[in-house]
A and B are shown apart, each in its own frame.
Chain A
Amino acid sequence: MSHFDEAYSAVQAALDAGARYADCRIMVRRVESVSARDGDIQNVGSSESAGLGVRALVGSSWGFYAVPDLSDAAARAAGRRAAQIAVASATVPGPPIDLVPAGAIEASWANDCEIDPLEVSLSTKGDLLVEATAAAKAAGSDLAEAVSGVWDTRKWFVSSEGHRIDQHTRECGAGVWASAFGDGEIQRRSWPSYGGQYGTSGWELVDRLDLIGNAPRLAEEARALLSAPLCPTGETTLVLGGEQLALQIHESVGHAIELDRILGWEAAFAGTSWLELDKLGSLRYGSELMNITIDPGIPGALGSFGYDDEGTPATKRDAVRDGIWVGVLAGRDSAAVAGLDYAGSVRSDGWARLPMVRMTNVGLEPGPHTLDEIIANTEDGVFMDVNRSWSIDDRRLNFQFGCEIGYEIKNGKLGRMLRNPTYTGIGPKFWQSMDMLSSETIAWGTPNCGKGQPGQVGHTGHPAAPARFTNVRVGVRG
């Protein structure tokens, strides 16, 4: 069933009410979540949501209105309201706004999906999570939890510039974690990552994770961490696993290259960026090993799509090349303000939210090494993996991360397990110290990226591999 007609009605109503540009997204989404704890089911939930969101540009002011009603009358009313809200925006005006050109596109897109995740029964999903947590519990975990999530989204997009695009996106993922309680502290180990691994993929992604097989090891490692020595304090050589490096990319590169932040549009909440547009193309972000791409076309990665929420086709673009900052995540209006000629990174987390600049798949191209080679070439240092905590300042410079597990590296070999490993630094200094990078890339999914007011939760992907950094401050404690 198509909803192009209703979307067209909303756009036309906004134009009739005075908008010079309008677009409408109609979305029908089903979400399913299952969780288990200590061998028992904890929650089985599903939701269905359908509605439309209209964006209207009157003069140089935007308005947005959304309703959960797909009737033609409701669509027309929403279009008029969006235009009325834009008129109110004009009472506190700014400089003229244009949109970078976008040709009219009529298209249809769906991601590859071997096993439709909504066709996998809830009992199959529940049994998997129950068995995984039971296995962790049997292996000595004080608390074992597991989750799975599925998002099935159908979207119809119409713009006043001739776009008619429908997309069907299926995303899913799962994870398991085990905790051990000690005297006044808790240690946790997760597989395959903090909160689980997710992708724009069918259930085959979850089948490959082997949650049950990994669960006993998590319990044993969490228990062992309770008596492991603390991560030492000081400056050292740091080797990060790929999962942790994915979040490092997300926080200290992905958000920093969002053009709306660079332009100050997020200054009061998410923050700005240390990057200045006049240095685009010349600023050294990292070492020559650092090549970051923006690529919403990676099959299976969580930030993938066919077209963004302004109808721009998915296009691969460099963000950092040989360590030099060369690209941003942009939308049609922000790109025009910045004098750039490309957009393609605007998304909303649902029909009720305004599309805004968001990460797609932002990740590192593979390096020339392997993790084994990196360890073997490190005389003295610390290896950390799997994120436990993250914090970064509002300019995306000063970060501090905690990981679930660490190991000493001595004379080219992994040594003792270390508990409560943390590291801190300043973004460009840290990235410029990267001197070894593995080729063992995985596109890690982050299903919980917060941004915007009202808040939106984005799904992003981050190809990353283990890497080495020098002179990093580790072991920060309270």
Chain B
Amino acid sequence: MSIDIIRTGAELELAARVVELVRQVAGPAAEAEVMVQHDAEALTRFANSMIHQNVADAVTNVRLRLHLDGRTAAGSTTLVDADGLRGLVERTVAAVRLSPPDGTWPGLTPPTPLHHSAGYPGSGERSGLDFGFDEATARATPAERADRVRDFVRAAGGLETAGYCRTTYTSAAFANSAGQSVEGRTAEAAMDGIARIGGADGVARLAGGRLGDLDGSALGARAAAKARAGQSPVELPPGHYEVVLEPEAVADLLDNFAMFGFNGKSYAQQQSFAELGEDQFDPSVTLIDEPLGSRAEPAPGLPFDDEGTPRESLVLVRDGVTKAVAHDRMSAATAGATSTGHASPASRTWGPYPTHVRMEAALAATEPALPPADPSSPVAESARPLVAGMRRGLLITDLWYTRVLDPKTLVITGLTRNGVWLVEDGEVTGAVSNMRFTQSYPQALGPGRVLGIGSESILLPDRWSGTRYAAPALHLASWNLTGNASG
């Protein structure tokens, strides 16, 4: 079974039709922007080493935002027949006339070409339809996902396993009454699983633009090695520990930096730690939002946002200096900046934030030569040089349930998960039970606090499709662990 239609042009035609309907119903003075997005998501989920949930859906959503007579309203529908579209327009026109005045309307995106071709493998000449798009991933079948799950389960060698294999396909178009008209599509595959033994969990996860790049066997073997090495953990007292965070844990840092720090609304409202032009991070830290991908990776996101603004790479931090935050048109107007292409259905309320953040890896040449990897080691390959350089500290695989205690300082509490080990003189000496931490994330990566960065940024999925991180391992001088299994 595959997706019925790999769509080209269908969404653009729908978007143009809605813009015209608005003109007919509300007149030429109405400012309308229309995003039509077709999402097909399929997720094969396993637990207790069996596929227990296996789902797929295909939804086209039409989103309309309308500004008329100084008032703004938005609406959406999944009903895309003539009655459904007319109902959306009439409902939204009625809503805008009943809405209070909106003094913050930033205007429409003028006709602007997409950023395409240069630097992005596979990108095409018109409308950016092929930013490395992998049709095989878009057409992936339940059997192909099940194959990878079966490989994961087998490679775990009898350990109990759980996780998922996911493929997504998005085809979208934007049109507004100012003449902007763009379209694009993207596909993503991701696999995330754990192996479990004796109360110890090990994890392996990977995202990418091609399902063919996901090797269930390799991921299952890695999760199992971590689980086996995590058995019989000891409890350590709370305190400040030197740590190596593996890429899965670093992705959580990127997620929270993106959501709360580089969020244009939070920045405008003085709720973000970000101060443009300031040395807020260690000089080794560079963070870039890359919705169009980079190097050999297919584009993970659409080439435009919900306001039709073309997307491109955005340097958030360069060599430790905070350079930018993400904006939609409203937050940009508030901040006296220009939109960076981060409008979303939620950006007016939650704020615009980056969704494809990469932390730049270190140059491999800076790392010492190491003996061949031990396949039973819990240490991720990219973290090995960092672990080798740690005299005494903790190797942390993953972070869980992280929540902000103070948005301005980005103090966050959460727990370790899926494997913690004590490292002494560069060697893993024993498993440690999970611990709670309470830590300011910007402070942890502040000047002088980053002792090393891994030489490879791993592509990691977010819990929501459409968001992805590229994270290396990270060696930090201090991490504030505030509790253990006893409380």
Q: Are A92 and B104 within 8 A (Cβ)?
A: no
B58 → chain A closest CB, angstroms: 6
CA distance A422 to B149 in the complex (A): 41
A44 with B73: in contact, given A62-B52, A89-B54, A264-B160 (CB under 8 Å)? yes
Interfacial residues of chain A within 39-57, with CB under 8 A of chain B in the complex: 40-51, 53
Instruction: Give 14 A-B contacts (CB < 8 Å), ordered by A residue.
Output: A40-B104, A45-B76, A48-B87, A61-B54, A86-B54, A89-B54, A91-B143, A94-B52, A268-B192, A268-B203, A354-B55, A391-B413, A393-B415, A398-B485
A residues less than 8 Å from B41 (CB atoms): 454
Chain B residue nearest to A28 (CB atoms) is B79
B residues less than 8 Å from A53 (CB atoms): 57
Q: Are B142 and A398 within 8 A (Cβ)?
A: no
Interfacial residues of chain A within 390-449, with CB under 8 A of chain B in the complex: 390-394, 397-398, 400, 402, 420, 422, 424-426, 429
Interfacial residues of chain B within 26-47, with CB under 8 A of chain A in the complex: 41, 43-47
A residues less than 8 Å from B76 (CB atoms): 45-49
Most buried by A among B54, B58, B485, B486: B54
Chain-B contact segment, one of A63-71, A199-207, A358-366, A378-386: A63-71
Interfacial residues of chain B within 88-137, with CB under 8 A of chain A in the complex: 88, 91-92, 95-96, 98-104
- The number of residues on chain A lying at the interface, defined by a beta carbon within 8 Å of a beta carbon of chain B, is 86
* Top 6 closest pairs, chain A to chain B, by CB: A94-B50, A88-B142, A268-B162, A66-B57, A478-B411, A68-B78
A43 with B348: in contact, given A49-B77, A85-B56 (CB under 8 Å)? yes
Q: Mark B417-428, 1 if CB is under 8 A from A, else 0.
A: 100000000000
Q: Are B403 and A391 within 8 A (Cβ)?
A: yes
Q: Are A68 and B405 within 8 A (Cβ)?
A: no
Whether, in the assembled complex, B86 has its beta carbon less than 8 Å from a beta carbon of chain A, the answer is no
Q: Are B162 and A267 within 8 A (Cβ)?
A: yes
Q: Are B162 and A264 within 8 A (Cβ)?
A: yes
CA distance A240 to B146 in the complex (A): 47
The one of B46, B80, B194, B405 in contact with A92, judged by C-beta atoms closer than 8 angstroms, is: B46
The one of B50, B75, B100 in contact with A126, judged by C-beta atoms closer than 8 angstroms, is: B100
B265 → chain A closest CB, angstroms: 10
B residues less than 8 Å from A476 (CB atoms): 413, 438, 482-483
B259 → chain A closest CB, angstroms: 14
B152 → chain A closest CB, angstroms: 9
Chain B residue nearest to A87 (CB atoms) is B142
A89 with B400: in contact, given A49-B77, A130-B100, A454-B43 (CB under 8 Å)? no
Whether, in the assembled complex, B404 has its beta carbon less than 8 Å from a beta carbon of chain A, the answer is yes
Whether, in the assembled complex, A473 has its beta carbon less than 8 Å from a beta carbon of chain B, the answer is yes
Whether, in the assembled complex, A389 has its beta carbon less than 8 Å from a beta carbon of chain B, the answer is yes
CA distance A275 to B314 in the complex (A): 46
Most buried by B among A64, A89, A264: A89
Q: Are A400 and B413 within 8 A (Cβ)?
A: yes
Whether, in the assembled complex, B408 has its beta carbon less than 8 Å from a beta carbon of chain A, the answer is yes
A477 with B438: in contact, given A65-B57, A264-B48, A265-B47 (CB under 8 Å)? yes
A67 → chain B closest CB, angstroms: 6
B residues less than 8 Å from A68 (CB atoms): 58-60, 78-80
A residues less than 8 Å from B149 (CB atoms): 92
Chain-B contact segment, one of A180-188, A213-221, A305-313: A180-188
A40 with B146: in contact, given A89-B54, A264-B48 (CB under 8 Å)? no
CA distance A402 to B487 in the complex (A): 16
A residues less than 8 Å from B362 (CB atoms): none
A residues less than 8 Å from B438 (CB atoms): 400, 476-478
CA distance A250 to B443 in the complex (A): 32
B residues less than 8 Å from A121 (CB atoms): 98
Whether, in the assembled complex, B340 has its beta carbon less than 8 Å from a beta carbon of chain A, the answer is no
A127 with B100: in contact, given A84-B1, A391-B414 (CB under 8 Å)? yes
Q: Are A85 and B163 within 8 A (Cβ)?
A: no
Whether, in the assembled complex, B439 has its beta carbon less than 8 Å from a beta carbon of chain A, the answer is yes
Q: Are A35 and B349 within 8 A (Cβ)?
A: yes
Whether, in the assembled complex, A123 has its beta carbon less than 8 Å from a beta carbon of chain B, the answer is yes
Interfacial residues of chain B within 390-433, with CB under 8 A of chain A in the complex: 400-409, 411-415, 417
A420 with B405: in contact, given A85-B55, A88-B44, A269-B463 (CB under 8 Å)? yes
CA distance A320 to B57 in the complex (A): 38
Q: Are B77 and A88 within 8 A (Cβ)?
A: no
A residues less than 8 Å from B72 (CB atoms): 41, 44
Whether, in the assembled complex, B287 has its beta carbon less than 8 Å from a beta carbon of chain A, the answer is no
B residues less than 8 Å from A397 (CB atoms): 485
Chain A residue nearest to B78 (CB atoms) is A68
Q: Are A45 and B409 within 8 A (Cβ)?
A: no
A400 with B436: in contact, given A67-B57, A186-B407 (CB under 8 Å)? yes
Whether, in the assembled complex, B465 has its beta carbon less than 8 Å from a beta carbon of chain A, the answer is yes
Whether, in the assembled complex, A339 has its beta carbon less than 8 Å from a beta carbon of chain B, the answer is no
B residues less than 8 Å from A62 (CB atoms): 52-54
The one of B55, B101, B406 in contact with A185, judged by C-beta atoms closer than 8 angstroms, is: B406
Q: Are B485 and A91 within 8 A (Cβ)?
A: no
A residues less than 8 Å from B57 (CB atoms): 53, 65-67, 352-353
Whether, in the assembled complex, A288 has its beta carbon less than 8 Å from a beta carbon of chain B, the answer is no
Most buried by A among B87, B192, B482: B482
Q: Are A89 and B409 within 8 A (Cβ)?
A: no
B residues less than 8 Å from A265 (CB atoms): 47-48, 52-53, 162
A51 → chain B closest CB, angstroms: 6
- Known pairs A122-B99, A424-B487 / 19 extra A-B pairs, C-beta < 8 Å: A44-B72, A44-B100, A46-B91, A88-B141, A88-B142, A94-B49, A94-B51, A142-B270, A143-B269, A181-B408, A265-B162, A267-B196, A353-B55, A391-B436, A393-B401, A400-B483, A420-B405, A455-B464, A476-B413
Q: Mark B159-170, 1 if CB is under 8 A from A, else 0.
A: 010111010000
CA distance A64 to B403 in the complex (A): 32
Q: Are B52 and A42 within 8 A (Cβ)?
A: no
Q: Are B77 and A48 within 8 A (Cβ)?
A: yes
A residues less than 8 Å from B464 (CB atoms): 454-455
Most buried by A among B77, B194, B439: B77
Whether, in the assembled complex, A2 has its beta carbon less than 8 Å from a beta carbon of chain B, the answer is no
Whether, in the assembled complex, A137 has its beta carbon less than 8 Å from a beta carbon of chain B, the answer is no
Q: Are B99 and A123 within 8 A (Cβ)?
A: yes
CA distance A416 to B164 in the complex (A): 50
Q: Are A453 and B45 within 8 A (Cβ)?
A: yes
Whether, in the assembled complex, B271 has its beta carbon less than 8 Å from a beta carbon of chain A, the answer is yes
CA distance A123 to B203 in the complex (A): 50
CA distance A167 to B424 in the complex (A): 61
Whether, in the assembled complex, B74 has its beta carbon less than 8 Å from a beta carbon of chain A, the answer is yes
Whether, in the assembled complex, B153 has its beta carbon less than 8 Å from a beta carbon of chain A, the answer is yes
Q: Mark B202-221, 1 if CB is under 8 A from A, else 0.
A: 01000000000000000000
CA distance A397 to B400 in the complex (A): 13
CA distance A455 to B57 in the complex (A): 13
